[in-house]
Chain A
Amino acid sequence: MWLDLRSHLIETEQKMQGKEMIERDRVFRLIYGVIERLNEQRKPDERIKGDSDSVLMGSGGSLDSLGLVNLIVATEEAVEQEFGTPITLSENMEYGDERSPFHTISSLADHMMLLLGESRNDENEPSRFIDFRFHNKNSG
């Protein structure tokens, strides 16, 4: 019985990790799509690369304040369309801070995963998004 429970927990964790990867991939694809649209407004040599390490804000960042506003609003709109769940990125605008969720594409994706998880939990629905802070703490 103990073995059954343990294997069930391992299987559940693997499923959760797999789901996390899939959701994270969707979020990255969404951000890249938004960036691609925003790049139409930028000179060819100033276009943001579709790379998780691309710096958006802070030292070496590509976006000015107008660019950040456009990124935030376009991303919020795309999230609602893609996931059917509204999130509010604008409450976390921290200009220039390298710990800001808008520092890189990767940090933005992490932040969005967090907000998506919270948004689902707020709606008291069976969550399609896992609160990875909690999950990572326990698995660590």
Chain B
Amino acid sequence: MTRTNLHGLLISDFTIKTLANYLDNIDEIPKLHTHVVLIRQLIQILTPQDAPSLSSKPDFAVVWTRPDVSVPAFSKILHFQSAPVATLMSEVDAFAEAVAFLGEHTNAVFVPSWTLPSYIRGNGMLDMKNAGGAANAIMRMNLRLTEQLEPHSNIFVLNAQRWIEVAGKLACNPKLWYMGKIAFSNDVFREAARDIKAGLRGMRGLARKLVIVDLDDTLWGGIVGDVGWQQLNLGGHNHIGEAYVDFQLSLKDLTRRGIILGIVSKNEESVALEAIKNHPEMVLRVDDFAGWRINWGDKANNIVQLTASLNLGLESVVFIDDNPVERARVREALPEVFVPEWPKDKMLYQSTLLDLRCFDVPGISSEDLERTQMYLAQKRRDQSQRNITSMDDWLRTLETTVTVEEFSKTNALRVVQLLNKTNQMNHATRRMTLQELNIWIAHKNRHLWAFRVADKFGDAGITGIISLNHDGEVGTITDLVLSCRVMGRRIEETMLFVLINFARRVPLVSLKAEFVPTEKNKPCLEFWRRSPFQEERTNLFTFDLSLPYEVPSCIVLQEGTAVPSGKTLTHLTH
């Protein structure tokens, strides 16, 4: 997934050019170029001679078929003939197998679930009763399909029924079918295209990570500075108050998906925080927010400051404000920030939030789930730093433990996240899917280690990776990636120590690291220049392995318990 314009393959048994047109032309990133393959059966494209499209190695594929074509037994059910469930399921399995094969030839496969037009009522009241009903059978088929494809990390079954519901009763207009063999209306394809693009953004690490909210008339009803927290409209026996509570509940739910919350509001900070702490109906409390800027300054400026303090980029931010003037200001000043149009009607706040596509990710790691807590730990860490003058003294007080793990299935998701999301401390900025990484690491001379960092304030989870590719006596450091949350705490040096220790045991004679500059990774270059590596020429750093290299004294280094790949030497930490 490294090309600017992604190349996609749309495989379907109906005319799907409209989806291709939407994918190629709607004004959302990533830019796509799609190619349509019309098939009768998916099996048609699975051999190289029949599949010239696959030889071009598309970045993604969409397989959208009609259930009665892909699963012939289902066609019988539609015509009120009997078909054993076992036959139905085995045909679904065969289809899933074909999709899985396709998944081996592309980085991502999207499979819209099977649907039926609303005018097919089947057996009426009997249609859900048992597998003889079309509605019952199609639910079983979709469930079976998702089960069969679940182990494949790059294959995603998308809920097409939602697109049908958005499009309404004309989602499957028979006229489109008779005139153009088009199975769905434009609105269905439009919705599908937007979901697929959201998925592709998520796979490229472009999902939003921080939601910044306003307070007055956004998180609660009323102006807290005017009426006091006791008089805010929030909860209680009031339809608007109830809507605010539900909106807060959905914001809190986002934190369980790895998204952090912040506040930017024009208010007196003490007054606003008093409301958050004391109002009995508040769902979100101070500890639910990773940070805030509550003052009378420009909101755009405050967003920049808050985002920087959380070590995030503006392209990670969603800003929610009821005031259209503030929204317009932030949109104009900070085009990277996503500012959704927000409804005037408070009762639509929650549904508008739930409808946002900007949070889609291909997986959720344990680090994601703990992200807010990690930021709160960082706050406490920063507070403790202010009380100690020497940096080294402060680092020692943190009691930092670094645990090294070999790359494995257990940490793969997080490793891919770090590769794709980290900008500043990223030596080569290689953006890779899990499938691409698996292919890269399969070579016997390539190694990758993940680093988990914890201290007395909390566990930051897996926050660093380093990788090595060696040939002969020289090893090349391919990746050096560290989350900005733990940068500057000697984790970088510890990661190098582990790699150097391994390289000596291979044994290698020297290491080289060719730094790949980007607009954002200057901190990594500064690290190399501070390190004992010699800069032989611009951006090329080398290290003679006969020279000493010690683990930083403020770090306790230990080996982790992740399932080893079997090709790495043990005792990395000694």
Is B35 in the interface zone, CB < 8 Å from A?
Answer: no
> In the complex, which of the residues A37, A42, A72, A77 contacts B179, with contact meaning CB atoms closer than 8 Å?
A72
Q: Which residues in B have their C-beta under 8 angstroms from that of A69?
A: 176, 179-180, 182
Q: Which residues in A have their C-beta under 8 angstroms from that of B420?
A: none
Contact call B18/A73, Cβ cutoff below 8 A: no
Is A137 in the interface zone, CB < 8 Å from B?
Answer: no
Contact call B15/A66, Cβ cutoff below 8 A: yes
Assembly CA distance A58 to B176 (angstroms): 21
Mask, A64-87, CB within 8 Å of B = 1, is: 011001101110110000000000
Which B residues from 251 to 302 make CB contacts under 8 A with A? none
Contact call A73/B175, Cβ cutoff below 8 A: yes
Is A6 in the interface zone, CB < 8 Å from B?
Answer: no
Contact call A70/B22, Cβ cutoff below 8 A: no
> In the complex, which of the residues A37, A41, A77 contacts B173, with contact meaning CB atoms closer than 8 Å?
A77
Mask, A20-56, CB within 8 Å of B = 1, is: 0000000000000000011011111000000000000
Assembly CA distance A69 to B176 (angstroms): 7
When C-beta atoms are compared, the residue in chain A nearest to B17 turns out to be A66
Chain A interface size range: 10 to 19
Contact call B180/A38, Cβ cutoff below 8 A: no
**A51 CB to nearest B CB, Å:** 20
Is B21 in the interface zone, CB < 8 Å from A?
Answer: yes
When C-beta atoms are compared, the residue in chain B nearest to A93 turns out to be B179
Is B556 in the interface zone, CB < 8 Å from A?
Answer: no
Mask, B94-116, CB within 8 Å of A = 1, is: 00000000000000000000000
Is B467 in the interface zone, CB < 8 Å from A?
Answer: no
Assembly CA distance A73 to B182 (angstroms): 11
> In the complex, which of the residues A42, A65, A74 contacts B180, with contact meaning CB atoms closer than 8 Å?
A65
Assembly CA distance A41 to B187 (angstroms): 11
Assembly CA distance A93 to B175 (angstroms): 13
Contact call B25/A70, Cβ cutoff below 8 A: no
Given contacts A69-B180, A73-B185, A74-B186, contact A90 B175 (CB under 8 A): yes
Number of residues from B at the complex interface, CB < 8 A: 18
Contact call A40/B18, Cβ cutoff below 8 A: no
Q: Which residues in B have their C-beta under 8 angstroms from that of A41?
A: 18, 21-22, 25-26, 186
Q: Which of A41, A43, A69, A74 has the most CB of B within 10 A?
A: A41
When C-beta atoms are compared, the residue in chain B nearest to A44 turns out to be B25
Given contacts A66-B17, A66-B18, A77-B170, contact A40 B179 (CB under 8 A): no
> In the complex, which of the residues A40, A43, A44, A76 contacts B175, with contact meaning CB atoms closer than 8 Å?
A76
Assembly CA distance A127 to B21 (angstroms): 40
When C-beta atoms are compared, the residue in chain A nearest to B19 turns out to be A41
**A13 CB to nearest B CB, Å:** 38
Q: Which residues in A have their C-beta under 8 angstroms from that of B170?
A: 77
Q: Which residues in A have their C-beta under 8 angstroms from that of B25?
A: 40-44
**A96 CB to nearest B CB, Å:** 16
**A32 CB to nearest B CB, Å:** 16
Assembly CA distance A69 to B21 (angstroms): 14
Is B190 in the interface zone, CB < 8 Å from A?
Answer: yes
* Number of inter-chain CB pairs below 8 Å: 47
Contact call A70/B173, Cβ cutoff below 8 A: no
Q: Which of B18, B173, B179 has the most CB of A within 10 A?
A: B179
Contact call B15/A70, Cβ cutoff below 8 A: no
Q: Which of B24, B186, B190 has the most CB of A within 10 A?
A: B186
Which B residues from 139 to 196 make CB contacts under 8 A with A? 170, 173, 175-176, 179-180, 182, 185-186, 190
Assembly CA distance A34 to B235 (angstroms): 42
When C-beta atoms are compared, the residue in chain A nearest to B189 turns out to be A41
> In the complex, which of the residues B24, B179, B190 contacts A73, with contact meaning CB atoms closer than 8 Å?
B179
Contact call B173/A40, Cβ cutoff below 8 A: no
Assembly CA distance A41 to B179 (angstroms): 19
Q: Which residues in A have their C-beta under 8 angstroms from that of B21?
A: 41-42
> In the complex, which of the residues B15, B17, B22, B182 contacts A40, with contact meaning CB atoms closer than 8 Å?
B22
Assembly CA distance A38 to B182 (angstroms): 15
Q: Which residues in A have their C-beta under 8 angstroms from that of B186?
A: 37-38, 41, 70, 74
**A69 CB to nearest B CB, Å:** 4
Q: Which residues in A have their C-beta under 8 angstroms from that of B175?
A: 72-73, 76, 90
Which B residues from 343 to 361 make CB contacts under 8 A with A? none
Assembly CA distance A80 to B182 (angstroms): 21
Contact call B22/A73, Cβ cutoff below 8 A: no
> In the complex, which of the residues A70, A76, A90 contacts B18, with contact meaning CB atoms closer than 8 Å?
A70
Contact call A73/B173, Cβ cutoff below 8 A: yes
Assembly CA distance A48 to B226 (angstroms): 52
Contact call B180/A40, Cβ cutoff below 8 A: no
Contact call B176/A73, Cβ cutoff below 8 A: yes
Assembly CA distance A60 to B536 (angstroms): 62
Assembly CA distance A69 to B170 (angstroms): 15
Given contacts A66-B15, A66-B17, A77-B170, contact A40 B190 (CB under 8 A): yes
Contact call A66/B180, Cβ cutoff below 8 A: yes
Q: Which residues in A have their C-beta under 8 angstroms from that of B185?
A: 73, 77
**B25 CB to nearest A CB, Å:** 6
Assembly CA distance A137 to B559 (angstroms): 93
**A67 CB to nearest B CB, Å:** 9
Q: Which residues in B have their C-beta under 8 angstroms from that of A72?
A: 175, 179
Mask, A88-103, CB within 8 Å of B = 1, is: 0010010000000000
Q: Which residues in A have their C-beta under 8 angstroms from that of B176?
A: 69-70, 73
Q: Which residues in A have their C-beta under 8 angstroms from that of B18?
A: 41, 66, 70
Assembly CA distance A43 to B20 (angstroms): 12
Q: Which residues in A have their C-beta under 8 angstroms from that of B180?
A: 65-66, 69-70
Mask, B11-48, CB within 8 Å of A = 1, is: 00001011001101110000000000000000000000
When C-beta atoms are compared, the residue in chain B nearest to A88 turns out to be B175
Some 18 contacts from A to B, beta carbons below 8 A apart, are A38-B186, A40-B22, A40-B26, A41-B21, A42-B25, A66-B15, A69-B176, A69-B182, A70-B18, A72-B179, A73-B175, A73-B176, A73-B179, A74-B186, A76-B175, A77-B185, A90-B175, A90-B179
Name B residues whose Cβ lies closer than 8 Å to a Cβ of A.
15, 17-18, 21-22, 24-26, 170, 173, 175-176, 179-180, 182, 185-186, 190
Name A residues whose Cβ lies closer than 8 Å to a Cβ of B.
37-38, 40-44, 65-66, 69-70, 72-74, 76-77, 90, 93
A-B interface, 4 closest residue pairs, ranked by CB to CB distance from nearest: A41-B21, A69-B180, A69-B179, A73-B175
Q: A90-B175, A93-B179 are in contact. List 15 more A-B contacts (CB 8 A).
A: A40-B22, A40-B26, A41-B18, A41-B22, A41-B25, A41-B186, A66-B17, A69-B179, A69-B182, A70-B180, A72-B179, A74-B186, A77-B173, A77-B185, A90-B179
